[in-house]
Amino acid sequence: MINTKELTIKKTHEALKKGDFTVLELAETYLKNIEEKNKDINAYLEVFDDIKEQAEIAQKKFSDGTATILTGIPMAVKDNILIDGRKVGAASKILKNYVASYDATAISKLKKEGVVFLGRANMDEFAMGGSTENSAYGPTKNPYDLERVSGGSSGGSVAAVAMEGALVALGSDTGGSVRQPSSFCGTVGLKPTYGRVSRHGLMAMGSSLDQIGTIGKNVDDAEIVFKNILGKDIFDSTSQDAPENISTTKPKKIGVPFSFLKQGGIDESVLSNFNETVEKLKKEGYEIVDIDLPNNHYSLAVYYILMPAEVSSNMSRFDGVKYGEHKDGKNLLEDYMLTRGEGLGKEVRRRIILGTYVLSAGYYDAYYHKANKVRALIADDFRKAFEKVDVILTPTSPTPAFKIGEKSADPISMYLADIFTVTANLVGTPALSVPSGFTEKDGKKLPLGVQITAPHFREDALFDVGRSIEGRV
């Protein structure tokens, strides 16, 4: 009997190499966990039916000596990342029967390593949401408390890992969609530097913000998967490699925007846990520096202008002509109206309408253009802060996981959950959410997380500080 709770990628690799268990036995252990838990948690929209074939390919790599660290590792994949020949639908009705025509670059890299893809993970429709309640196939529940949300939008990927339904997972992060659910479910979630992982084959939401991210039970696992999917890609002109002369000095100074944390709206349990983490890092020998990010409080407003603007443009591809569902009307215009009206969910419709507004003549300057200028100011604040400190530390989310339905009637209260995470997407910096302890609500233990942000291409600094927070240095 394999105890998946004790497994890490490195331990699994050693065990597979020694033959303690086979790739198939490992995958079947996870499949059994999924069978037990998925009906309650709803992390997976589909479990693939060719696990045996995938496991055979991976096992062969062990027998012929070509196995690498990720060979045979069971992974969940968010439903907006394309795997050739498999269904993929962004948890939307409009892509109900859509089958991917090609592999995302991240997927083709992982296929070469012999990763075993267990299934596609639930999400907020087209990654629009922070709770996975916007899925057309029902919310993903929090494995720690089934009355609470898993967070989102990569709630399914994160819950799959948290419920021992996969060792690691891929998600996508446009405003915190890997990090916020990770903090809600006690996993490690990485949003890499913008462009460090190719977006080719990731369904676009906000193209200047989107990044594929990795999820694991610990920093090492998230790091290993990240290192196997990064790199410049001819299919994504915004992708890039790290500059060769990039510094790799160990981080020593941690900046904390204390004044930003005093603005209110942060749960008491989050604040006290955050302060404990700061104390712990001081004891580890880090220097804590109070930093000022004067334009940071505009981040959420800037994000909720630029993101819907990019959404309204990206979502125009769903026209019922080229692929996806089609609803028939009297003429082509009605075909479009009905296909999109019925196929796209409420939050997606809301963001498209909002984006259409901020881009329309007469409002473009006041909203979209101004937001771009403020985005540059926020980026400048970060550049200045990183002259003084090596990384920046904040909570990942202002609250622990909230109850299902608690925020769904009020979009703004839902959007406020992104207050600490959107900045990294606006600025393009890498950020990592690391579990920092638990709080108790209604008699249930709920995970909390802290977020580390580093300068562009300094994921190594995130992993260093992340390991200190894990206490495994």
Question: Which residues are at the interface with another protein (CB under 8 A)?
Answer: 98-99, 101, 234, 237-238, 295, 298, 301-302, 304-305, 312, 316, 319-326, 331-333, 335-338, 340-342, 344, 346, 349-350, 352-354, 356-357, 360, 366-367, 370-371, 373-374, 376-377, 379-380, 411-412, 415, 428
- Shortest distance in whole angstroms from residue 414 CB to another protein: 11
**Given the residues 92, 157, 177, 436, the one annotated as active site:** 177
- Shortest distance in whole angstroms from residue 308 CB to another protein: 9
**1, 2, 87, 128, 239 from 118: Cα distances, Å:** 19, 17, 13, 24, 27
**Nearer Cβ to another protein (68/295):** 295
**Nearer Cβ to another protein (223/236):** 236
Q: Assess whether 5 carries a catalytic annotation.
A: no
**Cα gap 99→85, rounded to integer Å:** 6
The residue assigned the tokens 């925020």 is: 407
Burial of 19 (0-12, 13-18, 19+ CB in 10 A): exposed
**Nearer Cβ to another protein (111/370):** 370
- Shortest distance in whole angstroms from residue 353 CB to another protein: 5
What is the distance of C-alpha 143 from the center of its chain?
17
CB 143 within 8 A of CB 162: yes
**Given the residues 153, 157, 312, 433, the one annotated as active site:** 153
CB 217 within 8 A of CB 8: yes
- Shortest distance in whole angstroms from residue 68 CB to another protein: 29
**Cα gap 163→144, rounded to integer Å:** 9
What is the H or E stretch that residue 125 is in? none
- Shortest distance in whole angstroms from residue 122 CB to another protein: 23
Q: Assess whether 327 carries a catalytic annotation.
A: no
**Nearer Cβ to another protein (142/312):** 312
**151, 229, 274, 381, 441 from 451: Cα distances, Å:** 15, 22, 10, 18, 22
Q: Within 13 Å and on the Cβ side, how many CA atoms surround 418?
A: 29
What is the distance of C-alpha 458 from the center of its chain?
18
- Shortest distance in whole angstroms from residue 247 CB to another protein: 17
Instruction: To the nearest 10°, report the CA torsion of 35, 39, 41, 45.
Output: 80
Note the helical H segments in 84-208. 105-113, 155-162, 179-185
User: Where in the sequence numbering do the catalytic residues fall?
Assistant: 78, 153, 177
